Amino acid sequence: MNVLKPKIISVKNRCYRSLEAGSQHDSRKAPHADESCDESKISKESTEIKRAESCEEAEEECHIEIKELKDSRLLLVLEVPKCFRGLIFGSKRQTLNRITNATNTKIEIPAEHQDGPIKIFGDLRENVLSARRKILDIVNSARQRSDFTHFIAAYARDSNIQQTFKHFKNEVLSKHGNARGVTKEVFQDEHRLHLTFGILVLLGENERKEAESLLKRVIEEVVDKTTVSEKIKLRIQGLEYMNDDPSEVHVLYAKVQQIAGSIDFQMLANKIVKEFKKSKLMINVKTEEVKLHLTLMNSVFRTKDVTAYNSRKMRESFDATNILIDFNDYFFGEVEVNDIEILRHNSYDDRGYYKCTAKIPLKKVIAKPKGTSVRLVLDN
């Protein structure tokens, strides 16, 4: 048996390398072998032959489809957004040549204005998978540096909260409109009040569908574990800010507390971020513990016409010292969470809401968790 290309067996969503019984190491013959062995004497064969070695880290690769062609070569097809193809080519094809030489593969990339996937040809499975990993490393690195296009959120779409927020805005401007940086431009639009889970870079219809499918799967996995169908209800009350100096604030937000619901909303948010981080579609993930909050004021709102890069340099903070004193425990209301949505960044419909790419109706999923349909609203 070729120990470098063993048979792969899937067991309960995990995959293992299956080795022949005669090749297995019998630990009973040397119970303290690990304590007394000389590393210099470990043979290549003994390092290769292991008992049912788990390949959890490479679980995805175990299920990647690789076709065998008539000439015995292997073909792996990889979807990559057009905007990243140039990075894979590199200057004068240097990056592409480096990948093909290192992996002993041939890689075909569609012409600039052509659609279609990248094709990786090779003689060995490990070679084409290695080329795939190198390409995805380039893509994922570039994605992390890209401006986000979408975000996952739960709307605070409640008329009472919207009216309370408008009242809060008017009171703040009336009492503290003379404070440095406190202007009407830094306030969120009442139609866009939401709880953000994370931001995404979705480039093309394939990635939008992938994100929608992943969000649906994660929610259904959580919902399937519930036995009752009590709606999620959140209380929006109290103010906090995202830095150490109340006189130099960029983001002022309302605190969020779950007061009802058969689903742990914090756990759901954390799981969504964890799975989207794995998929590489979500960027700037510093922690998988989501800070549930409702943004009320943000200095970036007044620089919305400035590019993302420049806005980080040009954003002007505001002095929230007295706002925090006068409105510290301000009650905005309670809201039911009926949907988790994928929304388009800086794109709005006629009512002022963010345009929706996909929506998972929690209320319907809770009532009928099996086979619930997802309403998909394509980007316009």
**125: CATH:** 3.30.1370.10
Is the residue at 298 inside a domain?
yes
Question: 298 and 211 in one domain?
Answer: yes
Nearest-angstrom CA–CA distance, 197 and 281: 13
Nearest-angstrom CA–CA distance, 49 and 38: 18
Question: 87 and 121 in one domain?
Answer: yes
CA nearest neighbour of 246 among 174, 173, 329, 318: 318
pLDDT at 18: 61
Question: 325 and 220 in one domain?
Answer: yes
Question: 205 and 90 in one domain?
Answer: no
pLDDT at 59: 66
Is the residue at 327 inside a domain?
yes
pLDDT at 43: 44
193 and 162 Cβ atoms separated by less than 8 Å: yes
Token pair of 224 as six digits: 């399937």
Domain that holds residue 208: 150-303+316-361
8 and 19 Cβ atoms separated by less than 8 Å: no
Is the residue at 221 inside a domain?
yes
Q: What's the CATH code of the domain at 204?
A: 3.90.1140.10
pLDDT at 62: 79
Is the residue at 96 inside a domain?
yes
pLDDT at 315: 84
Question: 227 and 348 in one domain?
Answer: yes
Nearest-angstrom CA–CA distance, 212 and 192: 21
Indicate the residue type of 11: V
CA nearest neighbour of 163 among 351, 333, 368, 356: 333
Indicate the residue type of 16: Y
Query: For the chain, what is the domain count?
Result: 2
pLDDT at 9: 61
Question: 128 and 190 in one domain?
Answer: no
Q: Tell me which of 97, 118, 144 is where a domain ends.
A: 144
Nearest-angstrom CA–CA distance, 374 and 377: 10
Q: Tell me which of 144, 159, 184 is where a domain ends.
A: 144
Is the residue at 114 inside a domain?
yes
Provide DSSP, 215-229: HHHHHHHHHTT-SS-
Is the residue at 310 inside a domain?
no
Q: Tell me which of 128, 144, 160 is where a domain ends.
A: 144
Question: 138 and 261 in one domain?
Answer: no
Q: What angle do CA 292, 202, 100 make, to 5 degrees?
A: 125
Question: 165 and 273 in one domain?
Answer: yes
Is the residue at 54 inside a domain?
no
Is the residue at 244 inside a domain?
yes
Please give the average pLDDT of every successive group of 10 residues along the chain, which has 380 residues.
Answer: 56 55 41 39 40 48 88 94 93 95 96 90 96 96 94 95 98 97 96 96 94 95 80 96 94 97 93 95 91 96 59 79 98 95 94 93 53 46
Question: 112 and 184 in one domain?
Answer: no
Question: 222 and 208 in one domain?
Answer: yes
pTM of the model: 0.76
pLDDT at 304: 60
> Three-state DSSP class for 67?
strand
Strand partners, 358: 342, 376
Question: 239 and 114 in one domain?
Answer: no
Question: 171 and 100 in one domain?
Answer: no
